[in-house]
């Protein structure tokens, strides 16, 4: 199908009447996903958002339930968000991240209703990457600038129009009433040229990485590669697949709420026990945990790498610590037996 960009804004305005619509919005010198009240607030001419759209489904801070203690017991009020949502303009790498998060929040051992209800009520309208950033390496993780995995619709920007690829019934339903023309040969050719021109400059060698990580937990390489890290957690807070959280009660008097907040394995308090013992007492252990979690533990548990190659951790690191260089260093290190 084919839609011109003027029509697209009108379409967003129609959707806003029914759905909560989230789209990339410019704030200062960066982009982030925000709920929009008008179609012209969406800015789809962008490279990628600073924070991924995962916070639409997994907010950085959310109430799980509220409570009030009475003489005859405790009254609980659930805080489930059942509103219908659309995320418009997310990149294919971010759509893939939702598939990885699905495994975490909907596993054999754990079902998270807060995430799952939002997920089931959300339609994903992706936007292909005409010009991937120099820090992108999605193709090394099985993705691509125009990958469709996890999306309901994919938009291909061909200038003054979008070629719309319908990928699911939910996507098709979203377009009902639009009466869009089919993409003609000229538009299809323009889309093909755009796709072929969206080449990534970086490839990361992941072959054999898991096997190597299986045996280097105590390897001296961790003494070196963590040294640059400040432990600020910018990498985890901007990562579309990181999902650590903390739960606290905020109470006053006889009432309060239970709150879930994003947390990060890069913080020393994350693993601090009540006894005072911390199994990850220094940056070395915390940095090792981050690498191991994404490229070994997640593979062990979900048969997938917990990275989509979006490059946000590289762009937002204040000391230019590049995960691609870290992985290359691990790949190039000697194979040593794992001895403590």
Q: For position 338, what pLDDT does the model report? A: 55
Look up residue 84 and give its two tokens: 């219908």
Q: For position 202, what pLDDT does the model report? A: 85
Q: For position 40, what pLDDT does the model report? A: 94
Q: Which parts of the chain register pLDDT below 50? A: 337
Closest alpha carbon to 183 in 3, 322, 19: 3
Length of the chain: 340
Q: How far apart are CA 292 and CA 213, in angstroms?
A: 7
Query: Do the beta carbons of residue 132 and residue 170 sit within 8 Å?
Result: no
Strand order from edge to edge, sheet including 61-70: 73-78, 61-70, 255-262, 245-252
Look up residue 263 and give its two tokens: 């947390």
């Amino acid at each position: 199908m084919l839609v011109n960009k003027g029509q697209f804004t009108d379409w967003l305005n129609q959707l806003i009447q029914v759905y909560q619509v989230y789209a990339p919005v410019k704030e200062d010198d960066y982009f982030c996903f925000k709920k929009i009240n008008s179609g012209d607030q969406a800015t789809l001419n962008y490279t990628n958002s600073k924070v991924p759209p995962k916070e639409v489904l997994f907010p950085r801070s959310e109430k799980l339930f509220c409570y009030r203690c009475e003489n005859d017991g405790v009254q609980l009020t659930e805080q489930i968000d059942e509103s219908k949502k659309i995320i418009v303009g997310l990149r294919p790498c971010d759509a893939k991240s939702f598939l990885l998060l699905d495994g975490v929040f909907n596993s054999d051992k754990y079902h998270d209703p807060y995430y799952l209800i939002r997920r089931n009520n959300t339609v994903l309208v992706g936007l292909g990457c005409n010009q991937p950033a120099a820090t992108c390496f999605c193709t090394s993780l099985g993705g691509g600038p125009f990958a469709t995995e996890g999306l309901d619709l994919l938009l291909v920007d061909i200038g003054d129009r979008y070629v719309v690829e319908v990928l699911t019934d939910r996507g098709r339903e979203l377009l009902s009433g639009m009466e869009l023309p089919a993409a003609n040969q000229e538009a299809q050719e323009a889309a093909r040229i755009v796709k072929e021109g969206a080449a990534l400059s970086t490839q990361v060698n992941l072959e054999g990485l898991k096997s190597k990580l299986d045996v280097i937990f105590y390897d001296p390489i961790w003494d070196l590669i963590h040294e640059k890290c400040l432990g600020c957690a910018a990498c985890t807070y901007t990562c579309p697949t990181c999902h650590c959280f903390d739960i606290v009660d905020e109470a006053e008097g006889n009432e309060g709420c239970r709150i879930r907040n994003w947390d990060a394995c890069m913080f020393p308090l994350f693993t601090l026990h009540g006894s005072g013992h911390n199994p990850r007492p220094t940056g070395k252990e915390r940095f090792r945990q981050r690498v191991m979690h994404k490229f070994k533990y997640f593979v062990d548990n979900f048969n997938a790498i917990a990275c989509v190659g979006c490059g946000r951790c590289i762009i937002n690191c204040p000391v230019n610590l590049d995960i691609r260089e870290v992985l290359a260093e691990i790949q190039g290190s000697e194979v040593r037996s794992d001895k403590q």
